[in-house]
Structure formats: structure tokens, C-alpha cells
Amino acid sequence: MTAGDPLFEAFSIGNLRIKNRIIRSSISGRIDNYDGSGTPARIAWEEKFAKGGAGAIITAHVPICVEGRILPNYATLDCDERIPFWSKVVERVEKYDCPIILQLSHSGRQQDIAGFENGDRLPPAASDRIDNFHGLRGREMTIAEIDNTVELFALAAERAVRAGAHGIELHSANGYLFTQFLSGPINDRADEYGGSLKNRARFLLRVIDAIRKRVGPLFPLIVKIAAADHHTAVTPWLFWQGEGNTLEDALLVSKWAEEHGASALHVSVGNIFPHPRNPAGGLPLPEAARLYDVMLSSGEHTIRNYLIFRFAPSLGKFIWDRTTDGIQTEGINLDASEAIRKAVKIPVLCTGGFQTGSFMRKALKDQKCDAFTIARPLIANPDLPQILERGDEVTQKRRCTYCNKCLVHVLEDPLGCYELSRYESYEEMVSSVLDFYKNA
């Protein structure tokens, strides 16, 4: 290790020491069993990043209940039977001095593919409103359902501790259930969970309180937060709905989360997923047209989107890129992260495009965040931490291009890098995408 290199200086979240400032952000793919049990492929998937030198891993979303699942084939933590699987994941990655943090998740209305167990029932959500992009619809939860969901998060947190996980993160950005409560233009509730920002934050803060009671004061609990909603980014014709929560709102929510016991904040952006700013880089067409078909029956706008992707790709690209043209992808959330970091005392993690060592070292020097969470550049180069530790940079040929082909492929295919320009041949790409199955 390079002495004095800020990227490779250890830091702590709660009682957890992390050996460097490079954390694998949530990603996996539909590689677990349909019933929510985990697979050897998932274990091999996580191991690949631990082996590559990541300081810690935040898992992809882990559903706390089947009715709050985003897609089938992701391992859940909705019952005690799932605990031994997560223990195996922990054992496999901690050999590399790489702790693992489970991201506890509830989709709310943002359920891309509900799966047959949920039948035709609408998922429980903060409100009845449909989302602007896919047109996914939820059903406003009753107070009793809110109480029950708080308890489900606390139970899942307890199970994470019993599995030996090193921490948990709340999936509280990017349009899922927590966002649906927090975001002004989404939450239209008339009770104590709607209206003012404090009311809209009540559900998140109750979940933090409930988890803290079960896991003790020091167990790492990260709260992922959208620095701003950018509510109409892909629906400019709905301008009258406004842009939703601002950075000022995020600062308040961050401070409240800290007061209630969050051990760290994780700065993301956007009140839907995907969003032009997350993962930033653009809409891959024609790939999105080919892969979006599995969602056609999920939302009220999916056919509209499919027709645009398929027959009017320039229009699709224009709408998707119109608010991000000219904005640099690497470090897209850094300024917001700096503002949040100044408002709290706990560590602040930042996500969004990081892959250049010199850029990240400068961001640390400028105190813009305490650590970087990385998804796509690590899919492209799982050994990125080792490359940076040697003092090198990723070569131009091997850099992640932020094309987002990995993102749209995940609906149907294993998660991997599908950017052909990074490979010598199609066969090499296939082999690289499937490589983790060999170690399963």
C-alpha cells in the first residue's frame, strides 16, 4: 500500500473499520432463486469484488418482504431460513478483509416485475400516485401497514446481525418506498406521514429508531439519500408538479437521520430509478428497446416508453439527456455530498461515476466526501482498487464508458459489462460476463 495515499487510508462507520475509501455500491442481478433463496453464483459475484480489493461491499437491495420485492431472483431476508445463506456470503468475502453491508429494501410502488406471488395486488406504497416514468402504481398504506413495515425492517436488521453481516444500509433513495414517503410530489397523504418534510420523513426516522433498538448503538447503519429529486427530468410536460425535494430538504433529512442514529449517509440522486442522473451516462438504445419488453405489463406508461425506445430513439435520447447534457458523470453528486458532509458529523459516502484515482484523491483532499461507492466502473474492472493502489489509472480501452448497457441487460441477463468496445471480440465479452458462474 502507498503510504500516505488518502484513497487507501482506513476509516470507520460505527464500530466498523474499512481498510480503504473504495466501497462497492449496490449491484447484483437476477442470479438468485425465484423463491428468494440465495445461490452460489451470488456468493461468487460478491467475492469477485472482495478479491479485487474493495474496502467493503454494499449488497444489491435485499427485500424485507416479498410484496416489497423489486424483481424476482434477488435473495431476500424476509424470514429466518435466509440467514444461513447470508452467513455464507459474509464468510466468503470477509476472508479478503472486506466487510459486507446488507441493503434492506422495500420497493413500494416501484416494483419492476412483481412476480406471481403478488398476483394482481397493487404493492403497498406511500400513496396511490403512479410514477411518472414507467407508470408503476402502488396503493396507499394504512397506518397499521406502516407500523407492520417498520417492524419488518427491524426484523430484517436483526436477521442481518444474526447472519454476521458487518452493517446494514437502508435503500432510502432512488424512488423506492422511503423515497415515496420523502418526496413532495409523490407523497400526497393527508395523515401524519404526509404534508411537511418532517411528516414525510417520519417513516424513515421510525425505521431508524426501530432498527437501533434491535441492533444497539454502534452497529453500522447507513442511510442512502437522494440529494435532490429532479422530479420531472424525464417528464418535462409535467413541469407543474415541480422538481420535488431540494438539497436543502436533503440536508434536513440527513441531520434528522443522524440524530436518530444513522452511522453514515450515502449520497445519491433522483426520485425514480433509473434516472438520468443515476446511473448517469445516458440511455442505451437500441439495447433498452430490446430488453424493456419484460416490463411491458408492469406499468401504465411502459408501452409508451417501449414505442419511443423502439421507433423514436432520438426522441428518447433527447428527453433522457436534456437535463444532464454537459454535466460530468464522474463525481456528479460530489457538490451535494460536500454540502451534506458539512451539515453532519457522521461519514458521508458518495456515489456516481468514480473511477479516476487522481480525481478521487483530490475529492478526498477537498473534503467532499469520506469514501466513494462504485458500481459500474467496478463491473467493468473488479480489480480497480488494486490498479489504483499501485498508483496506476485504468487504461482508456478498459475504462467504463457509462453506457448503461449493464443496467438494461440486468432485466433479463446476468449482470456484467456489455460494452463491446471494451473487448477484443463478442466471445470475450460473453466469457467475461459469465465468469463469476465458474467460481460458483
Q: Which does 417 bind (CB under 5 to 8 A by kind): ligand SF4, ligand FMN, none?
A: ligand SF4
List C-alpha distances in Å: 280 to 173, 274, 333, 415, 420. 15, 9, 10, 17, 19
Rounded (10°) CA dihedral 230, 235, 240, 243: 0
- Contact segment (CB under 6 A) with ligand SF4 among 151-159, 178-186, 266-274, 403-411 equals 403-411
Write out the H or E segment, with its range, that includes residue 177: helix 177-182
Residue in 175, 60, 195 with CA at minimum distance from that of residue 108: 175
Q: Which does 401 bind (CB under 5 to 8 A by kind): ligand SF4, ligand FMN, none?
A: ligand SF4
- Contact segment (CB under 6 A) with ligand SF4 among 92-100, 108-116, 202-210, 373-381 equals 373-381
Cβ atoms of 223 and 217 closer than 8 Å: no
Select 125 or 332, whichever has its Cβ closest to ligand FMN: 332
Rounded-to-integer distance, Cα 207 and Cα 149, Å: 8
Task: Tell whether residue 357 is a contact of ligand FMN (CB under 6 A).
Answer: no
Using CB under 6 A as the criterion, what x/- string covers residues 215-234 for binding ligand FMN? Answer: ---------x----------
Hey, what's the cell of 231? 422530479
Of the candidates 60, 101, 114, 221, which one interacts with ligand FMN according to CB under 6 A? 60
Rounded-to-integer distance, Cα 287 and Cα 105, Å: 27
Q: What are phi and psi of 281, to 5 degrees?
A: 135, -20
Minimum distance from residue 177 beta carbon to ligand FMN (Å) = 13
Rounded-to-integer distance, Cα 361 and Cα 364, Å: 5
- Give the three-class secondary structure for 142: coil
Minimum distance from residue 49 beta carbon to ligand SF4 (Å) = 13
Write out the binding residues for ligand FMN, residues 85-104 only, by CB under 6 A. Answer: 103
Rounded-to-integer distance, Cα 342 and Cα 250, Å: 12
Select 231 or 275, whichever has its Cβ closest to ligand FMN: 275
Q: Where are the beta strands (DSSP E) in 50-137?
A: 56-63, 100-105, 124-125
Using CB under 6 A as the criterion, what x/- string covers residues 134-153 for binding ligand FMN? Answer: --------------------
Task: Tell whether residue 418 is a contact of ligand SF4 (CB under 6 A).
Answer: yes
- Contact segment (CB under 6 A) with ligand FMN among 40-48, 88-96, 297-305, 370-378 equals 370-378
Task: Tell whether residue 406 is a contact of ligand SF4 (CB under 6 A).
Answer: yes
- Contact segment (CB under 6 A) with ligand FMN among 77-85, 188-196, 335-343, 352-360 equals 352-360
Minimum distance from residue 406 beta carbon to ligand FMN (Å) = 5
Q: Cα angle at 154 between 153 and 159, to 5 degrees? A: 95
List of residues contacting ligand FMN (CB under 6 A): 25-27, 60-61, 103, 171, 174, 224, 268, 278-279, 351-354, 374-377, 406-407, 410, 415
